[in-house]
Amino acid sequence: MQPFSYVEPRSRAEALRLAQAYPEARFLAGGTTLVDLMKSGVVHPPMLIDVNRIGGLDEIEAAEGSLRLGALARMSDAASHEAVRTQAPGLSESLLFAASGQLRNMASLGGNLLQRTRCLYFRDRHFPCNKRAPGSGCGAIDGENRALAVLGTSAACIANYPGDFAIMLVALDGTVYLDGPAGERAVPAATFHRLPADTPHIETVLAPGEMITAISLPLGALSRQSRYLKVRDRSSYEYASVSVAAAADFAPDGTIRDARLALGGLAAKPWPVTEAALLLAGRRPDDPVAMGRLMDAAVDGARPRSGNAYKVPQARSAIRRAFATLARRSARSVA
């Protein structure tokens, strides 16, 4: 780890002023991503702006059909919040199935959105990696790529976005609130992350000096019937090989009125499957034709590499499984 300076602003304005004055500086929230990467020599910010002392950034509020989560709210606090558990159970699951208890107690929601890929070549500076060192080449594309993406990749980078929370956020039409040199703005969660194209080192639309202040999502029939299915080699404490964020509003006869789907683990960014609403409307989840079309649409354009072809059949099965579970839960709650 390289030496760095550390500042602890007490207000948002001061933090933003510092960030603008020192463009290489980084905000420090829980530190579970940032400090790790600093220790491995992947990033070396000369200054850390600790935002944990700034008041008002960690609140969780549910009102008027909307949930608002402060960027500094901890994963464990958000996951166990009454409104999150009852009105957006899939969001709670996406947080609970992530990392470990210790990490969730430290890690913030804003930091969670900004976690970096687990690509082995990115994390070990002895290897080439276009994301870490632009122009050095992609070590993974012809290397050990079992964990990496089959969707949204480019010739420059096939890294996957590893997080869980963002997948559910995208499925449930969430919004990310930013504040920075150009003032405040709101960005749909679905467009917050960028595809790698030929600039894989630029991962989000966050501008230099900009801070995430909050995250929101609409609460309603969809969020109440949401589920996060996380598939991984071991039972816990592992990133998803494939994950499915699914939500469905069921009519009393068991047909779907409205649905949402986003995929994680296998794509360069949280991967919304926008066709879900159209393909499932008026259908039942056990309708093989509708489900087949949805599965086709979800992995359309998938480009497996030497080690990750298994993710495609795994994702297809996981999609069917997630909606089947939602249907069972819905039937139970009607009965």
Partner 1 sequence: MARGAIRTVDTLAAEAVPGVVRVFTPDTMPRLPSVPEQPDWDIMYGSSFVPMADRTIHYAGQPIGMVLAETLEAARHAATLIHYEFAAEEPVVGLDVTTDLAGEPGHEPEQIWLGFVAGYLPGAVKRGSGAAALDHAAVRLEGRWRLSTNHHNPMELVASTASWESADRLTLYETSQHVANHRNGLAKLLGLPRENVRVVASYVGGGFGCKGPVWPHSWLAALAAKAAGRPVRLVLSRAQMYTAVGYREEQWIDLRIGATQEGKLLGATVTKLSATPAWEDWVEPSWYPFTFMYDLPALETRCRLLRANVMAPTFMRAPGEAPGMLVQECAMNELAAELGVDPIELRLRNHADVYPIDGSQWSSKRLKECYRVGAERFGWASRSPTPRSMREGDLLIGMGMASASHTVYRQPASARVTITTTGIAHVAASATDIGTGTATFLRQITADELGLPLDAVQALIGDTGLPEAPMQAGASLTSSLGSAALAAARTLRGRVLALATGTEGSPLYGHNENDLALDDGRILAGGNPTGQTVSGVLRRAGLTELSSDGRFDPGGMGQVRSGDPVRDRREAPRGMHSFGAIFAEVAVDPELGLIRVRRLTGVYACGRILNPKLAESQLIGGITWGMSQALFEVTHMDARFGRFTNTNLSEYMVPVNLDVPVIDVTFLDDPDPYINPLGVKGVGEIGITGVAAAIADAVWHATGKRLRTLPILPDALLDGDEISSTRC
Ligand X SMILES: Cc1cc2nc3c(=O)[nH]c(=O)nc-3n(C[C@H](O)[C@H](O)[C@H](O)COP(=O)(O)OP(=O)(O)OC[C@H]3O[C@@H](n4cnc5c(N)ncnc54)[C@H](O)[C@@H]3O)c2cc1C
By CB under 8 A, name the binding residues for partner 1. Answer: 1-3, 41, 118, 120-121, 123-124, 126-127, 139, 142-144, 146, 231, 233-238, 241, 307, 309-310, 313-314, 317-318, 320-321
Query: Which of ligand X, ligand SF4, partner 1, none does residue 172 bind (CB under 5 to 8 Å by kind)?
Result: none
Nearer to ligand SF4, 115 or 117 (CB): 117
- Pick from 38, 60, 79, 158: which binds ligand SF4 (CB under 6 A)? 158
Cβ proximity of 192 and 186 under 8 Å: no
Piece of 23-31, 124-132, 175-183, 320-328 that binds ligand SF4 (CB under 6 A): 124-132
Q: Shortest approach of partner 1 to residue 310 CB, angstroms? A: 4
Other residues' Cβ atoms within 10 Å of the Cβ of residue 172: 24
Cβ proximity of 91 and 217 under 8 Å: yes
Eight-class DSSP state of 249? E
Nearer to ligand X, 8 or 287 (CB): 8
Strands (E), 131-282: 175-180, 183-188, 211-218, 226-231, 242-250, 256-264, 271-272
Task: Decide: is 267 part of the binding site for ligand SF4 (CB under 6 A).
Answer: no
Q: Which amino acid is at 96?
A: L
Nearer to ligand X, 114 or 172 (CB): 114
**79: its two tokens:** 């996951």
Nearer to ligand SF4, 267 or 291 (CB): 267
Could you give the C-alpha distances from 284 to 24, 256, 275, 314, 335, in angstroms and in order? Answer: 51, 6, 15, 21, 17
Task: Decide: is 94 part of the binding site for ligand SF4 (CB under 6 A).
Answer: no
Q: Please give the residue ranges that form the binding site for ligand X (CB under 6 A).
A: 26-34, 36, 51, 71, 75, 98-99, 103, 106-108, 110-112, 114-115, 163-165, 211-212, 239
Interatomic CA distance for residues 64 and 45, integer angstroms: 40
Q: Shortest approach of ligand SF4 to residue 139 CB, angstroms? A: 4
Query: Which of partner 1, ligand SF4, ligand X, none does residue 130 bind (CB under 5 to 8 Å by kind)?
Result: ligand SF4
Query: Which of partner 1, ligand X, ligand SF4, none does residue 157 bind (CB under 5 to 8 Å by kind)?
Result: ligand SF4
Could you give the C-alpha distances from 13 to 16, 54, 114, 172, in angstroms and in order? Answer: 5, 10, 21, 31
Q: Shortest approach of ligand X to residue 1 CB, angstroms? A: 14
Query: Which of ligand X, ligand SF4, partner 1, none does residue 138 bind (CB under 5 to 8 Å by kind)?
Result: ligand SF4
Nearer to partner 1, 79 or 222 (CB): 79
Nearer to partner 1, 128 or 218 (CB): 128
Query: Which of ligand SF4, ligand X, partner 1, none does residue 284 bind (CB under 5 to 8 Å by kind)?
Result: none
Q: Which amino acid is at 160?
A: N
Could you give the C-alpha distances from 53 to 12, 18, 111, 178, in angstroms and in order? Answer: 10, 15, 15, 18
Interatomic CA distance for residues 69 and 109, integer angstroms: 8
**Torsion angle of alpha carbons 164, 168, 174, 176, nearest 10°?**
0
Q: Shortest approach of ligand SF4 to residue 265 CB, angstroms? A: 14
Q: How many CA atoms lie within 13 A of 127 on its CB side?
A: 17
Per this entry, what is the length of the chain? 335
Interatomic CA distance for residues 140 and 122, integer angstroms: 9
Residues in the site for ligand SF4, rule: CB under 6 A?
117, 119, 121-122, 129-131, 138-141, 148, 157-159, 200
